[in-house]
Amino acid sequence: MGQETERRFLVNKALWEQLEKPEGTLYLQGYLLNENDRNVRVRIAGDKGFITVKGTGEGITSLEYEYEIPKADAEEMLVKFRPAGTEKIRYRLPASGGLTWEVDVFQKANEGLIIAEIELEQENQSFEKPAWLGQEITGEERYANASLALHAYKAW
Amino acid sequence: MGQETERRFLVNKALWEQLEKPEGTLYLQGYLLNENDRNVRVRIAGDKGFITVKGTGEGITSLEYEYEIPKADAEEMLVKFRPAGTEKIRYRLPASGGLTWEVDVFQKANEGLIIAEIELEQENQSFEKPAWLGQEITGEERYANASLALHAYKAW
């Protein structure tokens, strides 16, 4: 299991698009379960599949259990269960101090939304903020992937 | 993924208790999600952990995706998410034709209930019925583990 300390930011689209960046990976994901205090996500990330259980309720926020599964299983579950989900292209950019920016460029019903995440070892850890970084949205419920699956950005 | 063809029977308690049988394995399991058309189960079986996604709705019945996970993760999920579940001791008995009887002796709120399952390759496949086998309950919703987790046998 893992405890995540993650900070999230909007990304300035114009600056982001000018950026030279590594190739992104297509992420398709759906929520088999999407309740107040937990969700179960099936994800295809490039040529890999994953199943993830996340705690989102009081006292269990940031519990996360992720397991790699055959991509074919993940595809089949997304087809058969038709769970509400999100589609995005994820870019991984190295940051100073051995950290990594994960930048998600959302597609389809969430097109126009770009979110950058950085995972920290401690809550008060400092990190460099690139020029393309916008407003902080850490903890803002409506930007959570599980929320975006149900209430898409384009419909806000 | 797997498609199961499974037949289920009640077990005659008196005959079962007289039977010489191999050692059973304690199963602790809880349902993170338990909806009409799907469930997500976390299970501890002896010294192993599993997460399983099952389809139970129209057209997806008998879809089953099971993955082994660290036992410590399974334990933690059962503690933290406190999902409704069942506890049972499972016995595996060889049957003729290379088949296996899995006999679940339920504990706690489902004590008194013993269910035998046999997994077949085809629906019309024949198999030997041991003397301790009782009434067939294949497809009977209330005997499904996911149902027993919510509506325990002792309270019927």
For chain A, give the number of residues: 156
Q: Which of B1, B32, B63 sits opposite A53 (nearest CB)?
A: B32
Tell me if B122 sits within 8 A of B5, measured CB to CB: yes
**Mean pLDDT of all residues in A85-99:** 94
Task: State the pLDDT at residue B121.
Answer: 86
Q: Average model confidence (pLDDT) for chain B?
A: 92
Please name which of B33, B36, B1, B17 lies closest in space to residue B105, comparing C-alpha atoms.
B17
B123-141 pLDDT per residue, tens: 788 999 999 999 999 989 9
**Given this model, what pLDDT does residue B4 score?**
60
What is the pLDDT, as a whole number, of residue A153? 96
Q: Which of A76-90, A110-124, A137-151, B54-68 is least confident?
A: B54-68
Chain B closest CA to A84's CA: distance in Å?
14
> B58: buried, middle or exposed (CB in 10 Å: 19+, 13-18, 0-12)?
exposed
Evaluate if residue B60 carries a pLDDT over 50.
Answer: yes
Per-residue confidence (pLDDT) for residue B5, from 0 to 100 = 82
The confidence score (pLDDT) of residue A3 equals: 55
The pLDDT value recorded for residue B23 is: 94
Q: How many helices (H) and strands (E) does chain B have?
A: 3, 10
Does the active-site annotation cover A143?
no
Cβ(B75)–Cβ(B55) under 8 Å?
Answer: no
A 10 A CB-CB count for B6 gives: 14
What are the φ and ψ backbone dihedral angles of B149, each rounded to 5 degrees? -65, -30
Q: What percent of chain B lies above the pLDDT cut of 90?
A: 81
Taking any CB pair shorter than 8 Å as contact, residues of chain A touching chain B are 1, 32-33, 35, 37-38, 40, 42, 51, 53, 55, 60, 63, 65, 67, 69, 72-73, 76-77, 80-81
Beta bridge partners of B89: B26, B105
% of chain A with per-residue pLDDT over 90: 81
In chain A, % helix, strand, coil (3-state, to 5) comes to 20, 45, 35
Marked catalytic residue, from A27, A31, A91, A153: A31
Could you please report the per-residue DSSP string of B25-46? EEEEEEEEEE-SSEEEEEEEET
Among the listed residues B59, B52, B8, the one whose alpha carbon sits nearest the alpha carbon of residue B33: B52
- Residue B84's closest CA among B147, B152, B144, B30? B30
Q: CA-to-CA distance for B40 and B44, rounded, in angstroms?
A: 14
Q: Is the CB of B73 less than 8 angstroms away from the CB of A55?
A: no
Other C-beta atoms lying within 10 Å of the C-beta of residue B132: 21
pLDDT grade, residue B95 (50/70/90)? very high
Residues from chain A contacting residue B51 (CB–CB below 8 Å): 51, 53, 65, 67
A61: pLDDT confidence band, cut at 50, 70 and 90? low
Q: Please report the pLDDT score of residue A1 as a whole number.
A: 43
How far apart are the CA of B56 and the nearest CA of chain A, in angstroms?
Answer: 10
* Percent of chain A's residues with pLDDT above 70: 96
pLDDT at B122: 82
Q: Which of B156, B155, B127, B149 is nearest to B33 (CA)?
A: B149
Mean pLDDT over B63-88 rounds to: 95
ipTM of the complex: 0.80
Residue A96 contacts residue A128 (beta carbons within 8 Å): yes
CA distance A54 to chain B (A): 10
Confidence band (pLDDT; 50, 70, 90) for A48? very high
The tokens for A96 are 């100073």
Choose the mutation target among B34, B40, B44, B71 for the interface with A, i.e. most A CBs under 10 Å.
B40
pLDDT at position A87 = 96
The helix (H) or strand (E) run that includes residue B51 is strand B48-55
Check B51 against A51: CB less than 8 A apart.
Answer: yes
Q: What is the C-alpha to C-alpha distance for residues B53 and A53, in angstroms, rounded to an integer?
A: 12
Helices (H), B2-155: 13-18, 71-81, 145-150
What's residue B61's pLDDT? 64
What pLDDT sits at residue B1?
A: 43
Cα A5 to Cα B29: distance, rounded to the nearest angstrom? 29
Q: Is A13 exposed, middle or buried (0-12, 13-18, 19+ CB in 10 A)?
A: middle
Q: Which domains, ranges and CATH numbers included, belong to chain A?
A: 2-155 (2.40.320.10)
CA distance B32 to chain A (A): 8
What integer pLDDT is reported at residue B94 of this predicted model?
94
Residue that has been written with the tokens 């208790």 in this structure: B17
Asked if A69 and B73 come within 8 Å (Cβ–Cβ), the reply is no
CB-CB: which of B33, B55, B63 is closest to A40? B33
Is A63 in Cβ contact with B67 (below 8 Å)? no
